[in-house]
A and B are shown apart, each in its own frame.
Chain A
Amino acid sequence: MNYVIDILGPLLEGTTVTLKMFFVTIALSVPLGLCLALLRISRFRVIAGLVNGYIWLMRGTPLMLQLLFIYFALPFVPIIGIKLPDFPAAVVAFALNYAAYFAEIFRAGIQSIDRGQYEGARVLGLSYAQTMRRIVLPQVIKRILPPTSNETITLVKDTSLIYVLALNDLLRAARSIVQRDFTITPFVVAAAFYLAMTLILTWGFQRLEKRYAVYDE
């Protein structure tokens, strides 16, 4: 037990890196995903096609590869060749990747709203933007809560991929203690931390779902 308390310090430090990665990725990829979704369903064919291609690229290649590419290969790409420090590089890769997944969730949600809702709003004089903001998106939120919950829980665990950039996240912190002390206890504690984080998320989403359950469709 004392041993567990001893290793809590470094593991908690790792957890803050993991949480930082998680929150920054959510803060960037959700709005970006919404924009992508709106562009994807817009009547600007070329833009919609480009977004479609982007989503295919992001979902069709491993996140690990994207992470390595942005950190190691981007500096050598002509014109945009910039060398990002490790944390920003990881954030960019995660945000771009998760935006693609969120875009697909949002798109499916928006397209599941009945045409009658748009027409009902339109004949009352609402503009397209007002219709989206006041009528469509609030209903979309209710419908996309389950897949969004899934995606965010996946993100908590995916953050462990940043170890390849030598960032000291929870998993990497646990692993270095394991290698130092020759015991698997740190892994067990790390697992408990991940479980706690996903438990909080699950609980939060359940509360949201309950709140949106006040109305039926």
Chain B
Amino acid sequence: MPSTMNDPMIHAENIHKRFGAVAVLKGVSLQMRKGEVIAVIGPSGSGKSTFLRCLNHLETIDQGRIDIEGETMVTTSAEGACHYVPDAEVRRICRKMGMVFQQFNLFPHLTVLQNIIEAPITVKGMRREAIIPKAEELLRKVGLLEKRDSYPSRLSGGQKQRVAIARALAMEPDIMLFDEPTSALDPELTGEVLRTMRQLADEHMTMLVVTHEMAFAREVASRVVFMDHGEIIEARPAAEFFATPEHPRTRAFLENVL
């Protein structure tokens, strides 16, 4: 299927995933348009991370369909057999998505700058001279240019996460996936990371953000998705979602966290 302008950035349909006997995703569907910022919220263990990880093939799904920008990554036949496109194709498609983890996953043996230029050089074959100015520009954007030559162990959690964001952006993804980017941070450090993410949203980056930060979901997200027990219970524009949650489970959850 050739991609067109009108294709959704992410089209996930009826995703099923189980770990052993435990069904973690039970038919999750989501469409994401260009420039949307979607916040995924829900109780612990509801399958938010797993859903995100299925989208960029960190986990393989058992059933369902995923298209990224109109390109099919995995489909399921009428008989229920799940079929991924060849591995090289999967990798190429997944490169349209950047990901930021709760635990940062920076490379400790590389400096901040080296962390950022590693993938553009190794994966895209870019020349150092070409990528370094761009990396420095990204570091300036996240406010860490002066940490250019530091090793990750010398950075605070908030700084690490901002480097991780810059590192993902250096690959020029069309979509950014965030899995609880501020959950491993001390409360006073979450602000700087959220500010960077807000800035990205202002630049119309397409973002799918699993978060416990209700203020961020309310103020930055265009839509909020509430997941519980492996299902999407409710997915609506942020303002509506918080003003008039429809489902009792959503209401119960919001009462708990707000």
Contact = CB atoms under 8 A, between A and B. Distances in A.
Report the interface size class on chain A: 20 to 34
B107 A120 contact: yes
Secondary structure type dominating chain A contacts = helix
B122 A116 contact: no
Interface string B58-83: 10000000000000000000000000
B105 A214 contact: no
B103 interface: yes
A139 B168 CA distance: 21
Contacts of B152: 215
Contacts of B153: 215-217
Contacts, number: 63
B98 A123 contact: yes
B101 A119 contact: yes
Contacts of B91: 125, 127
Interface string A102-120: 0000000000001011011
Interface stretch (A56-64, A73-81, A130-138, A161-169): A130-138
Contacts of A134: 118, 122
B123 A124 contact: yes
A142 interface: yes
Interface string B123-146: 110000000000000000000000
Given A120-B101, A125-B171, A214-B151, A138 B109 contact: yes
Given A119-B58, A215-B151, A217-B153, A124 B118 contact: yes
A126 B58 contact: no
Nearest to B107: A135
A125 B93 CA distance: 10
Given A124-B168, A134-B118, A215-B109, A116 B123 contact: no
B119 A142 contact: no
Given A124-B119, A126-B122, A134-B122, A142 B109 contact: yes
Contact of B94 (A123, A214, A215, A216): A123
Contacts of B122: 126, 130, 134
A139 B151 CA distance: 13
B151 A123 contact: no
B32 interface: no
Nearest to B106: A120
A114 B167 CA distance: 19
A134 to B, nearest CB: 6
B97 interface: yes
Contacts of B103: 116
Contacts of A126: 119, 122-123
A122 B58 contact: yes
Contact of A139 (B95, B105, B109): B109
B56 interface: yes
Given A120-B106, A123-B56, 4 more contacts: A123-B168, A135-B118, A215-B108, A215-B109
Interface of A: 114, 116-117, 119-127, 130, 134-135, 138-139, 142, 214-217
The 4 A-B residue pairs with the shortest CB-CB distance, nearest first, are A120-B105, A124-B119, A216-B153, A123-B99
10 contacts: A117-B105, A120-B106, A123-B56, A123-B58, A124-B98, A124-B171, A125-B171, A127-B91, A134-B122, A215-B152
